[in-house]
Amino acid sequence: MNITERFLNYVKFDTQSSEESQTVPSTPKQLVFAEFLKKELEDEGFDDVEMDDKGYVYATLPANTKKEVPTIGFISHYDTSPDCSGLNVKPSIVRNYDGSDIELSPGIVSSPKKFPELLNHVGEDLIVTDGTTLLGADDKAGIAEIVQAMCWLRDHKEVKHGDIRMGFNPDEEIGMGAHHFDVEKFGCEWAYTIDGGDLGELEFENFNAASAKIRIKGISVHPGYAKDKMVNANRLAVEFASMLPGNETPEETEGYEGFYHLLGIQSNIEGATLSYIIRDHDRDRFEDRKHFISQCVKKMQEKYGEDVITGEVKDQYYNMKEKIEPNMHVIDLVLKAMQESDVPPRVHPIRGGTDGAQLSFKGLPCPNIFAGGVNFHGPYEFVSIQVMEKAMQVIVKICELTAGYND
């Protein structure tokens, strides 16, 4: 089976996760795919294949050398985003893409005028959707690349490697993928998530992240008799939102710039809740942002009373950079693997999070490598077959280079 066939088999499964669910995994349909993947890994002859009751799938490609080699791992998630349907995905292949508009379905066009990333893949074979669902390259492309690489190594015993672990998890798209990942069972010195974007992406910096809930308690009184009695929670919510800098929002920032993001307001006269996320790559600035939110709450309390407005700030995850920097050999190996695979590296910070960040803080250094998908979480998602093949080659090369790590 080639990598394209493997990937197309995977996207037949609807594995959309849900932010509303309290179960693990968040949707039972993810377990259907997990069972399929477990059987496939068994059929391919890998060792230690298991799936736990939460849908986490693990397997091993055993070492083919007696030399002492670090055990490393490769990880991808199999859920797809709640932002767009993953049901009845109908992929098609655009062979030798010529740079023109792609008609996904009658009246639905993917154009390089809107998506200039397409022009980076002229001459390649692109897997696209029919314009009604996402594709699922995030992150079934990563799974296909890992499994295909392990099959290649299994069949090419002349390439020496140590024990290689595979891990596949649910619920990454809702920020829960690493929560139940068994790092101790995985048993690796370091690992890589294969969950990045286009060719050459390598990420070992991500946002520090927190959430903030601001709750306002109002008093409703007939507006004709409200003087000195009414506390209008709607108005106080607007006042609080206006205290945050308008140029530090997602739509006004890029690169290493952090932000405050108002996710939503639920509000009437008697009560309001403002939900924020707080993001910054720099840990000190991140702490300053959390403090600023708390100070805004305090100022409102001084003006209206402590019982009128309260705030709760919770950390979500941290920048993996502080855990990767003491272990930069894991990055050096990737850069060398890319060089030897003719892949120009593109190292940049993630303006978001990754399972690898949480795993790094659980003791498993885990940077993120490209999987090839572009325009994630929507119907214009696509992936290049040639980029998937390059990702597979980089994985193989990392395993080979790791075998010579202590030389």
What whole-number distance in Å separates Cα of residue 252 and Cα of residue 406?
46
**φ/ψ (deg, to 5) at 269:** -60, -40
What whole-number distance in Å separates Cα of residue 160 and Cα of residue 100?
43
Whether 281 contacts 349, CB under 8 Å: yes
Whether 47 contacts 203, CB under 8 Å: no
Total residue length of the chain: 407
CA distances from 151 to 166, 191, 327, 342 (A): 12, 18, 28, 22
Whether 314 contacts 211, CB under 8 Å: yes
Whether 70 contacts 16, CB under 8 Å: no
The SS3 call for residue 206 is strand
Residue 326 CB partners (closer than 8 Å, separation 6+): none
Structural tokens at position 39:
């059987």
Burial environment of residue 10 by CB neighbours within 10 A (0 to 12, 13 to 18, 19 or more)? buried
Active site residues: 79, 172
Shortest CA distance to 334 belongs to which of 400, 261, 267?
400
DSSP string, 227-266: TTT-B-HHHHHHHHHHHS-TTSSGGG--TT--EEEEEEEE
* Sign of the four-CA dihedral 17, 23, 25, 30: negative
User: How many alpha carbons lie under 13 Å from residue 234 in its C-beta half-sphere?
Assistant: 5
CB atoms under 10 Å from CB of 23, counted, come to 10
The SS3 call for residue 118 is helix
